[in-house]
Structure 1
Amino acid sequence: MENIKSKLGNAGVLLAAMGIISIVLSIFNYNIRLLAWVDAWGSTMGWSIRILLILGGGALFFLFGRNEE
């Protein structure tokens, strides 16, 4: 069970990092190839998806990524 929690925490960090990197790259009109679809529905929806990636990834990390002591 601990291994699954660790993997979910790592996935959360990955999602949040991809959201942050996508925001930084979108300023320069670039994007991560995996997230190129986020702007297909328009700029506002693209920003919403990026923010949700960061919030969802952060939530996964804080729920499952930290060691219980």
Structure 2
Amino acid sequence: MKSIGGLMFVLGLGSFLLHYLGMEFKLLMWIDNWGPSTGTAIRIGLVVVGAVLWLVAGRQEKAVAAE
């Protein structure tokens, strides 16, 4: 889960930054099909959900290692 969360975070943040430079990841080109505001919401959602997954999985990993 930690790697999936990290990937979502990096792709969301990268997509957010590249969008304002007029570029986009080919994998995430579908995001703007519903309009720019929905695309921005999806990007923010990717960043937030990815960060949460990454943090929670990291804490669980530490808890398992401590046992």
Residue 11 of structure 2 aligns to which amino acid in structure 1? M
Aligned to 2:19: 26
Aligned to 2:30: 37
| TM-score, normalised via structure 1 length | 0.84
Give the aligned CA root-mean-square deviation in angstroms.
0.9
Report the CA distance between 1:65 and its aligned residue.
Answer: 2.4
Q: Is the 8 A contact 1:16 1:53 kept in 2?
A: yes
Count residues in correspondence. Answer: 62
Task: Provide the C-alpha distance between the structure 2 equivalents of 1:18 and 1:34, rounded to a whole number of angstroms.
Answer: 9
Residue 23 of structure 1 aligns to which amino acid in structure 2? F
Residue 51 of structure 2 aligns to which amino acid in structure 1? G
Task: Provide the C-alpha distance between the structure 2 equivalents of 1:31 and 1:60, rounded to a whole number of angstroms.
Answer: 24
Q: Is the 8 A contact 1:10 1:65 kept in 2?
A: no
**Gap regions ≥5 residues in structure 2:** none
**Gap regions ≥5 residues in structure 1:** 1-7
- Give 1 or 2 for the bigger CA radius of gyration: 2
Identity of aligned residues (%): 32
